[in-house]
Amino acid sequence: MFIEARDLFRSWRELNDRKSCEVVNLWENILRKKIHKLGDEKLMVYEQVCLAALDTNRMDVADQCLLALKKEFSGSLRVRKLQAMKLEAMERYDEALEILDNIIRRDETNAAPRKRRVAILKARGRISEAIKELTEYLKKFMSDQEAWQELSELYLMETDFARAAFCMEELLLQNPHNHLVHQRYAEIRYTQGGYENMEIARAHYCQAIKLNPNNIRALYGLFLIRGAKPGGGPRGNAEWSAVGPCCRGERATVLDITLQPMSLGGIPSYHGHFGSPKIINDPTSNMAEYMYSVQVERSALDCQNISPCNCFV
């Protein structure tokens, strides 16, 4: 049991998978009594368990791990960051910010405390200040993909779609083969509306499907664009239908072939192999619910997830 638990902890660290409840349970039932057998690896385990304890609001376990880490590294900035995270979990934000500011003053190249500052501002509902802080962070750490994604989400919370789209464009430059980035960028452009934005959304939905044919959300996005309502863009739906196929050429035919199984009544049968399909008696009312339930499960299969960085959680 001990070896299995140790190996699980290692694999979760390598995959950057929090598994907070499982980590705390294994710690209390197996590893805590045999921590001396891990050698130097015990320090990484202490940190891993501390983060999991904060996620699950087990402050007693977090205190045990912090105490053990302080004995080994009394002046470590990494331990100080964990202390700030504990204060943050207890909603003592001002004290947490004071510790984070001290860490930044001692090491200006340390990205983690800057991200924690953004997380605290976001938790307090100060979205505009969080955007300003994250913008300053990206001036120093321009290649941080997770930061660009988080900034895009913050702009979306402020309904600033143009700047959110810009952030996703930066992500596309750094990671052009991630179908989820293309999908998200297409969704933002679709939300903006207008003929030009719809065409951009169509192109990136197609690219997302090309990279991952199982991306149901991108297929559904194409379906929505194909049936755009009148007045959805500056040229109107009638002019859209007249101009679109001419501009797209053969792409219109390809799109029709791609979307043929995506008709309102055909989606369950198209993806029936995934499991027992939901019977849709009233497609127009149940479509959103069905697409959400299928997309959540399908998107977990063989795709590179771009979930928010742990530093922002």
| Residue 217 in tokens | 């959300």
Residue range 153-204, pLDDT digits in tens: 999 999 999 999 999 999 999 999 999 999 999 999 999 988 899 999 999 9
Of 34-43, 92-101, 265-274, the poorest mean pLDDT is in 265-274
What is the C-alpha separation between 206 and 190, in angstroms, rounded? 13
Share of the chain above pLDDT 70, in %: 73
How far apart CA 294 and CA 313 sit, in angstroms, is 25
Euclidean distance between CA atoms 77 and 140, whole angstroms: 20
- At 118 the pLDDT is 94
Q: Which pLDDT score, from 0 to 100, does residue 105 have?
A: 92
What is the pTM (predicted TM-score) of this model? 0.72
Mean pLDDT score, 99-110: 91
Residue 239 banded pLDDT, cuts 50, 70, 90: very low
CB 80 within 8 A of CB 96: no
